[in-house]
């Protein structure tokens, strides 16, 4: 049987639904999703295997104009993903087309030296007239056969998208065993789930100022032992993450642990700490340590 395989980079401005799409395509939550922009900081690999197709998706941070070192590292991650890919899947947001199809996106679409597809996401949030206008505008930049209208959240037209992906990937053997969903370690996903909880529970600058590092991950009879450290940038942020009488940290710990246990499918003991790493977002050594820089 002829099979197709290759790497597909999911690209787009922050918050358009890239990570939601990755999870929807795989039928499993792999990449963290929040209502806040710039949730994804490092590429997330997810592998979809069918009878005839193996697509290795690279979920990327949102395209942006970098303002500080962490964002520069995020942009670098995107560039590496593009370089590694056989197909580029650009995503725009139907409910916020102006923002999501701005100069930054248009430029990277026109610069693309690889086959590309455009997925218009969140069609559940836009009326027919808006979708027609979007279709017309996109038509100037992309071949109509390569534009697909989807809702990653509701799962609309994902089959159509999969067909389009298969059509545009090269013929080739599968690169990973059929039952492999990702190639990233459990440690990575564990840290991400804790970060997702901080994004959900805390506001303003805090989610952007934290990084999570797994200090120890011991598989044990009965219960795994995981020690994780939430790094903040300043002393004052430490107090906010810990909360009055440790209440906030306790909440973050309890809900992270539930997510981690569901993901690993085994019980864990989560030992969660908060530490200050002054201005880590500006320091290459810290960015490297937290996995944001090669």
Ligand X SMILES: Nc1nc2c(ncn2[C@@H]2O[C@H](COP(=O)(O)OP(=O)(O)OP(=O)(O)O)[C@@H](O)[C@H]2O)c(=O)[nH]1
Residue 207 contact among Mg ion, ligand X, none, beta carbon within 5 to 8 Å by kind: none
Closer to ligand X by Cβ: residue 208 or 280 = 208
Give the nearer residue to Mg ion in terms of CB position, either 19 or 77: 19
Binders of Mg ion in range 3-32 (CB under 5 A): 18-19
The number of residues that bind ligand X (CB under 6 A) is 24
Q: How far apart are CA 114 and CA 124, in angstroms?
A: 29
Distance of closest approach, residue 152 Cβ to ligand X, in angstroms: 4
Q: Which residues contact 35 (CB under 8 A, 6 or more apart)?
A: 15
Cβ(39)–Cβ(164) under 8 Å?
no
Binding residues for ligand X restricted to 24-43, rule: CB under 6 A: 33-35, 37-40
77 touching Mg ion, by CB under 5 A:
no
Task: Tell which positions 40-59 bind Mg ion, by CB under 5 A.
Answer: 40
Indicate the residue among 40 and 190 with the shorter CB distance to ligand X.
Answer: 40
Binding of ligand X by 207 (CB under 6 A)? no
Closest CA relative to residue 50, chosen from 179, 155, 238, 201: 179
Q: What string of DSSP letters covers 183-231? A: -S-HHHHHHHHHHHHHHHH--TTHHHH-EEEEEEEE--SSSEEEEEEEE
Binding of residue 16 to ligand X (CB under 6 A): yes
Write down the least CB distance from residue 189 to Mg ion, Å: 14
The answer for residues whose C-beta is within 8 angstroms of residue 73's C-beta and 6 or more apart is 41, 287, 292, 293
Instruction: Tell me the closest approach of the beta carbon of residue 58 to ligand X, in angstroms.
Output: 12
Q: In what order do the strands lie in the sheet with 44-49?
A: 44-49, 53-59, 4-11, 87-93, 116-121, 147-149
DSSP designation for 156? B
State which of residues 49, 108, 151, 256 lies at the interface with ligand X (CB under 6 A).
151
The helix (run of H) or strand (run of E) holding residue 26 is helix 18-26
Binding mask 37-76 for ligand X (x = CB under 6 A): xxxx--------------------xx--------------
What's the CA gap between 189 and 199, in Å, rounded?
A: 15
The least distance separating ligand X from the CB of residue 279, rounded to whole angstroms, comes to 22
H or E, element range at 10: strand 4-11
Exactly one of 124, 137, 178, 271 binds ligand X (CB under 6 A); that residue is 124
Write out the residues near ligand X by the rule CB under 6 A.
12, 14-20, 33-35, 37-40, 61-62, 121-122, 124-125, 151-153
Contacts with Mg ion by CB under 5 A lie at 18-19, 39-40
């Amino acid at each position: 049987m002829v099979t197709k395989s290759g790497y597909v980079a999911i690209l787009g401005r922050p918050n358009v639904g890239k990570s939601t799409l990755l999870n929807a395509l795989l039928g499993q939550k792999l990449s963290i999703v929040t209502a806040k922009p710039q949730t994804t900081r490092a590429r997330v690999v997810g592998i979809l295997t069918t009878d005839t197709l193996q697509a290795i998706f690279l979920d990327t941070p949102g395209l942006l104009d970098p303002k500080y070192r962490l964002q520069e590292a995020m942009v670098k991650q995107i560039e590496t993903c593009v370089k590694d890919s056989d197909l580029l899947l650009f995503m725009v947001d139907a409910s916020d087309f102006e923002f999501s199809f701005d100069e930054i996106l248009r430029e990277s679409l026109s610069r693309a030296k690889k086959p590309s597809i455009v997925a218009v996401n969140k069609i559940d949030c836009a009326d027919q007239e808006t979708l027609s206008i979007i279709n017309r505008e996109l038509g100037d930049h992309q071949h109509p056969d390569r534009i697909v209208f989807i809702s990653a959240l509701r799962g609309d037209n994902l089959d159509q998208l999969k067909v389009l992906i298969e059509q545009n990937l090269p013929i080739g053997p599968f690169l990973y065993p059929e039952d492999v969903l990702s190639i990233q370690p459990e440690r990575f996903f564990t840290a991400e789930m804790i970060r997702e909880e901080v994004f959900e529970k805390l506001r303003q600058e805090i989610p952007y100022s934290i990084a999570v590092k797994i200090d120890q991950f011991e598989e044990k009879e009965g219960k795994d032992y995981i020690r994780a450290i939430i790094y903040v940038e300043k002393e004052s942020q430490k107090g906010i993450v810990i909360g009055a009488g440790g209440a906030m940290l306790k909440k973050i710990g309890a809900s992270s642990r539930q997510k981690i246990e569901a993901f690993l499918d085994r019980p864990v003991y989560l030992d969660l700490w908060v530490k200050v790493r002054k201005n880590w977002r500006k320091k290459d050594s810290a960015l490297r340590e937290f996995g944001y820089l090669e």
